[in-house]
Amino acid sequence: QSALTQPASVSGSPGQSITISCTGTSSDVGGYNYVSWYQQHPGKAPKLMIYDVSKRPSGVSNRFSGSKSGNTASLTISGLQAEDEADYYCCSYAGSSTFVVFGGGTKLTVL
């Protein structure tokens, strides 16, 4: 069982927007602004999409955005494209004993 809870799957049609939630506790997501999101295509390494809750690395499309409210972080993808179909993982710093926890992952299907 993963420390952070994500929906197992989400889907959307091209051009639509979807949001993936990531629920933790006050000891991880709610306690720090150190939430990151990763995209993983089959057989590939994860790719950083969002860090520090809402910052985008250079080269990542501005269709990807992140936010946080309380113990829940969210990743929103707007203008869905076929290439966005992948697994998405959230990750949070969890203090100086546990350090890092990941969510169980969400499979995004572009219909």
Partner 1 sequence: QVQLQESGPGLVKPSETLSLTCAVSGYSISSGYYWGWIRQPPGKGLEWIGSIYHSGSTYYNPSLKSRVTISVDTSKNQFSLKLSSVTAADTAVYYCARHRGNWYFDLWGRGTLVTVSS
Amino acid at 109: T
Q: Which of 69, 83, 100, 111 contacts partner 1 by CB under 8 A?
A: 100
Residue 104 near partner 1 by CB under 8 A: yes
Residue 34 near partner 1 by CB under 8 A: yes
The DSSP symbol for 98 reads H
Q: Which of 29, 101, 108, 110 contacts partner 1 by CB under 8 A?
A: 101
Of residues 12 and 105, the one with the C-beta less far from partner 1:
105
Residue 36 near partner 1 by CB under 8 A: yes
Using CA atoms, how far residue 70 sits from 7, 30, 61, 110, in Å, is 18, 5, 26, 29
Q: What's the rounded Cα separation, in Å, for the pair 63 and 21?
A: 16
